[in-house]
Amino acid sequence: MKFDYIIIGAGSAGCVLSNRLSENPNNNVAVIEAGGPSDIWKVKMPLALLYTMHDPKYNWKYYSEPEPYLNNRRLFCPRGKMIGGSSAHNGMVFVRGNRNDYERWENFGLKSWSYEKILPYFKKIENWSGGENQYRGSFGLLPVNQSKNDNPLFKAFLGAASESGYKINPDMNGEYQEGFGMFDTTIHNGERASVSKHYLNPVKNRKNLNIFSNSFVEKIIFDGKKAIGIEVKIKNRVEKIYAEKELILSGGSINSPHLLMLSGIGDADHLIEKGINVVHDLKGVGKNLQDHLETYIQQECKTPDTLYTYTKLIPKVIAGIQWFLSKSGPCSQSYLEAGGFTKSSPEREMPNIQFHFFPSFVIDHGLVNPNSHGYQLHASPNHPKSRGSVTLNSSDPYDYPKILFNYLEHEDDLKQTRECIHVARKILSQPSLAKHTGKEVGPGSDKQSDDELNEYIKSNAETAYHPCGTCKMGVDEMAVVDENLKVKGIQNLRVVDASVMPEIPSANLNAPTLMIAEKASDLILNNL
């Protein structure tokens, strides 16, 4: 089989690319996805996000290596394994990042990735419920809605943030990011607005678009330094599929570097050690791994306004029936809709902390139900200095890679995480929350010293599920792709996903990933 373009991965970026590249009927496009369809109620129901996160049919369910600065804990690293990828199981928070994030990218030598250059692509993505303006788009394919969740704890939390001296921001994707408010969400008419639903499904019947699901790419095929195709297992048979124009890798921050290394692109010493023939020595492949590390500040709640109510059989059944009948009620929300961005100290150049308020306790990534009413603030430094890696376990494509985030390797990350706790405690102690607030469960009011907080963080901090950076774009010797996302030293091969981010943005990563894919589509179609 031959196609003009082969897209490896039908996640967030892959769905965007599939739509845009196939708009021209002269382009013959194939998209290859290891997982299956995502058109199931567990994906569509916003509050059911944990079901697919823990189901190996829909999730890769990666784990890190023992993290040396987190008491050697192995951290869960879920990644979507279905059409729509992680957009089909994420928290549905739509945050672009701070203007300064992209100015930092520009300062890395990536002039075409300045805030002014990428803003049109953010606008192009969204059909925003607030309407078109200088910063927001209303003609895009993806519904982006201002949250209308009326849980009383959200109102109380935002009141507490204001009482703490922080401004309320009605649009954290608008002119400025700093402040607290209700996040934009990709929830529409009571259902998850996944990228597959709004980019891929409407065009899946195009004659020039071929979607291969449950198809595992084992290797990229090269002719010298030119990518020409892939070896892919389809229905237990390995086939070769060839690309006439380009091969585009959109597997995500774990799978993209993994496939590059399996195919002979990466640090030559590492590849040789694993018995892989070196196609191109590119030392940055799999390096520069970044993520947001969250610490939970947990409070008992004295009022029955939390999601603990819906862990009981009868309320749970009633809420489920309500959603199935009318796409309304508790199951039509994600409950991750309130939060904000702030500075831990006034001298900070830009907000260095992101908060998510959640009206429940979260235990073991939702696998264990809470045993009481409670709520928590998820607090994470926006720009961690620690860096990790993705490396090979073996040359077997079905053998999971080694993932080491190295969280808190840099002492400043630990310091900023402690600052997160101090700011969170300040907010949670304000009068607006007084009638709701019980005792502090985590870290616990008795934990005040730096050493006590350090131990709490090391024993309890968890991923925000934002891995990125492992095929970074740039001009330095560790860059994997150039400014146009082409793999350095290789013809006809690009990487388009969160792995190309040189530095993690101050944001949940779905919106920035979609921006990258929209911009990449233009680059490809214009032969840049």
Tell me the per-residue pLDDT of 329-388, one tens digit each, with 9 for 90 and over: 999 999 999 999 999 888 888 999 999 999 999 999 988 889 999 999 999 999 999 999
pLDDT in tens, 467-521: 999 999 999 999 999 999 999 999 999 999 999 999 999 999 999 999 999 999 9
Residue among 229, 255, 247 nearest 400 (CA): 255
pLDDT in tens, 429-453: 999 999 999 999 999 999 999 999 9
Q: Is residue 13 part of a domain?
A: no
CB 382 within 8 A of CB 290: no
What pLDDT shows up at residue 347? 83
The secondary structure of 321-376 as a DSSP string is: HHHHHHS-SGGG--S--EEEEE-SSTT-SS--EEEEEESS--BGGGTB--SS-EEE
Residue 16: pLDDT over 90: yes
Q: Is residue 305 part of a domain?
A: yes
Average pLDDT over residues 204-217: 98
pLDDT in tens, 106-122: 999 999 999 999 999 99
Q: Which residue has the higher pLDDT, 369 or 124?
A: 124
What pLDDT shows up at residue 189? 96
- The distance from CA 21 to its chain's CA centroid, rounded to whole angstroms, is 23
Q: Is residue 40 part of a domain?
A: no
Q: Specify the DSSP element, H or E, that contains 196.
A: none
466 is catalytic: yes
What pLDDT shows up at residue 192? 97
What pLDDT shows up at residue 346? 84
CA dihedral 249, 251, 257, 262 (to 10 degrees): -80
Residue 466: pLDDT over 90: yes
**pLDDT band at residue 420, thresholds of 50, 70 and 90?**
very high
Which structure tokens are listed for 470? 């492992």
CB 185 within 8 A of CB 334: yes
Q: Is residue 467 part of a domain?
A: no
What pLDDT shows up at residue 349? 85
Q: Is residue 178 part of a domain?
A: yes
Q: Is residue 209 part of a domain?
A: no
Which structure tokens are listed for 130? 């607030």
Q: Which residue has the higher pLDDT, 428 or 146?
A: 428
Average pLDDT over residues 136-154: 94
Q: Is residue 348 part of a domain?
A: yes
pLDDT in tens, 17-61: 999 999 999 999 999 999 999 999 999 999 998 889 999 999 999
Q: Specify the DSSP element, H or E, that contains 6.
A: strand 2-8
What pLDDT shows up at residue 370? 93
pLDDT in tens, 70-96: 999 999 999 999 999 999 999 999 999
User: Among the options 258, 292, 378, 466, which is catalytic?
Assistant: 466
CB 386 within 8 A of CB 413: yes
CB 217 within 8 A of CB 34: yes
What pLDDT shows up at residue 497? 98
Q: Which domain holds residue 167?
A: 148-182+293-381+408-460
Q: Give the pairing type, strands 353-358 and 338-342.
A: antiparallel
| Alpha carbon separation from 247 to 16, 143, 254, 403 (Å, rounded) | 15, 29, 18, 25
Q: Is residue 196 part of a domain?
A: no
Distance in angstroms (rounded) separating the CA atoms of residues 365 and 462: 9
Residue 198: pLDDT over 90: yes
Q: What is the CATH number of the domain that holds 334?
A: 3.30.410.40
Q: Tell me if residue 294 falls in helix, strand or coil.
A: strand
What is the pLDDT of the chain when averaged over all its residues?
96
What pLDDT shows up at residue 12? 97
What pLDDT shows up at residue 280? 98
Whether the upstream peptide bond of residue 346 has omega within 30° of 0, thus cis, is no
What pLDDT shows up at residue 282? 98
Which neighbouring-strand residues pair with 145?
Answer: 185
Which structure tokens are listed for 236? 């237990």
Residue type, 171: D
How many domains does the chain contain in total?
Answer: 1
Distance in angstroms (rounded) separating the CA atoms of residues 42 and 371: 24
**pLDDT band at residue 264, thresholds of 50, 70 and 90?**
very high
